[in-house]
Amino acid sequence: MASHRLPKQPSRARVTVLTTAAAAAVALSANAANAAPSPKPNKDEVKSRVDRLYEEAEKATEEYDGAKEKQGKLQQEISTIQDDVARSQAELNELRDSIGLAAASQYRTGSIDPSVQLFLSSDPNDYLDRASTLDQLSAQQVQALKKVQAKQRELAQQRTEATEKLKDLAATRTELGQKKKEVQGKLAAAQKLLNSLTTREKTALTAEENRASRESERSVLGGNTGTASGRAAAAYAAAQGKLGTPYVYGASGPTSFDCSGLTSWAYAQAGVTIPRTSEAQATIGTRISSASDLKVGDLVFFFNDLHHVGLYAGNGQILHAPRTGAVVRYESMDTIGGPFMFGVRV
C-alpha cells in the first residue's frame, strides 16, 4: 500500500530569514527608486576632470612618441642588417663557387683531392676542426676553407641579430598599439565630459582660455628677456610662426604638433637635431635649475615625469602645444597644471 507523506514544512527560523531578506530587497528597491540622481558637475568641476584626463593623455602621448621613434630606428637597423645578410650570403656563395670550380677541374683530370671531396659533402666548419686533416690540404685550400668558415659564422651572427631585432620590433608595435588605445580612451572620456556642458558653459570655458592666452601674449611682448643663443632664437622664431596650429597627439609638424613635436621641429628649423620625446630632450644641453635664469628659446619641462615641454618665451611665459582641442599658444608657467622642473639650454 502506497505511503502518503505530507511535505516537510519549513522551519520557523527559515521563514524568518526569508521574510527578512525579502523585506530588505523591497526596501533597497524603494530607496533606489526614490534616490535623487547624482548632481551634474558644474563647469569648473568638468574643467578640472578634463584637465586631468588631458594630462594623462599627454603622458601616454609621450610614451607613444617614444615607441614610435623606437619603431623607426628598429626598422632602419633591420633593413641595414638584412642588407648585410644578403651581401654576406653572396660572398659566401662566391667562395663556395670558387672551391667548386677547383673541384670540377680536378674531377675532369681524374685527380680530385680527397680533402675537396670531403668539403663538398660536409660542413667545412667540422672539417677544419679536425687538425689531423690539415696536412692533406695545400695552403691555398686551407685559406679558402677558412674564409668560408669565417663567412658562415658572420652570416649566422647577422641572422641571429636580425631575428632579435624583429622580436623587439614586434614588441614595440604592440606597445605602440596599446599607447595609442590609451590616448584615444583618455581623449574620448574628456570629450564625453565636455559634451555634458551646455553651450553657454562651453562658450564660457573657451572665453576663459582665450583671455588667458591674450594676457600671456601681452606679457611676452612687454617682456625684455634675453635670448640664449642664435640657434635658440631661430628655434623660437620658427615656433612663433606656428602660433594657432592645432595640437594633435603624435604629430611633429608642420601642420600639427604635440608638445615635444613642436620643440623638436622648431630646433630642426634652426639646424639642430634634438630627441623626439620630452623625456629624452631633458637629457641634452645645459640644465637651468632656476626659472629666473631662463632665456627665450630654452626648453622648459613640467611635471615630475617630464611629460610636458615647451619653449621659454620670457617674463614667466612659455610657447607650447598644450593639449588636444587647443592650439600652439603662449601660456603662463603658473597655469600649466604641473610644477616647473628645470630648463635646458641647447
Summarize pLDDT for 34-85 with one digit per residue, the tens: 555 567 778 889 988 998 999 999 999 999 999 999 999 999 999 999 998 9
Domain with 249 in it: 213-345
Q: Which of 136, 165, 193 is the last residue of a domain?
A: 193
pLDDT, residue 147, reads 82
How far does CA 69 lie from the centroid of its chain? 7
Could you report the per-residue pLDDT of 121-180, keeping only the tens digit for each? Answer: 455 555 555 544 445 556 666 777 788 888 888 888 989 999 999 999 999 999 999 999
Residue 238 within any structural domain of the chain: yes
Residue 320 is among the residues annotated as catalytic for this protein: yes
- Kindly state the average pLDDT of the residues 92-98: 81
Q: Which of 11-20, 117-126, 206-215, 216-225 has the lowest mean pLDDT?
A: 11-20
Q: Which of 193, 221, 244 is the last residue of a domain?
A: 193
Q: Compute the distance between CA of residue 228 and CA of residue 295 in angstroms, rounded to an integer.
A: 5
Residue 27 within any structural domain of the chain: no
- Please check whether residues 310 and 259 belong to one and the same domain: yes
Query: Counting Cβ atoms within 10 Å, is residue 135 exposed (0-12), middle (13-18) or buried (19+)?
Result: exposed
| Mean pLDDT across the chain | 82
**Choice among 47, 320, 329, 345 that is catalytic:** 320
- Please check whether residues 308 and 220 belong to one and the same domain: yes
| Helix, strand or coil, per DSSP, at residue 214 | helix
**Choice among 259, 282, 299, 336 that is catalytic:** 259
- Please check whether residues 180 and 257 belong to one and the same domain: no
Instruction: Give the chain's domain count.
Output: 2
pLDDT, residue 110, reads 52
- Please check whether residues 74 and 169 belong to one and the same domain: yes
- For residue 237, the domain's CATH number is 3.90.1720.10
Contacts 24+ apart (CB under 8 A), 291-295: 291/316, 291/333, 291/340, 291/343, 293/343, 294/225, 294/343, 295/225, 295/226, 295/227, 295/228, 295/232, 295/345
First and final CA of the chain: distance in angstroms? 105
- Please check whether residues 242 and 181 belong to one and the same domain: no
Residue 28 within any structural domain of the chain: no
| Helix, strand or coil, per DSSP, at residue 318 | strand
Residue 4 is among the residues annotated as catalytic for this protein: no
Q: Which of 193, 223, 248 is the last residue of a domain?
A: 193
Looking at the predicted structure, is the pLDDT value of residue 103 above 60? no
- Please check whether residues 170 and 296 belong to one and the same domain: no
Q: Are 196 and 46 in contact (CB under 8 A)?
A: yes
**Choice among 308, 323, 329, 345 that is catalytic:** 308
- Please check whether residues 174 and 219 belong to one and the same domain: no
Residue 269 within any structural domain of the chain: yes
Residue 246 within any structural domain of the chain: yes
Q: Write out the three cell numbers for 168.
A: 623587439
- Please check whether residues 180 and 243 belong to one and the same domain: no
pLDDT, residue 111, reads 52
Residue 3 within any structural domain of the chain: no
pLDDT, residue 32, reads 46
pLDDT, residue 104, reads 55
Could you report the per-residue pLDDT of 247-281, keeping only the tens digit for each? Answer: 999 999 999 999 999 999 999 999 999 999 999 99
- Please check whether residues 167 and 249 belong to one and the same domain: no
Residue 24 within any structural domain of the chain: no
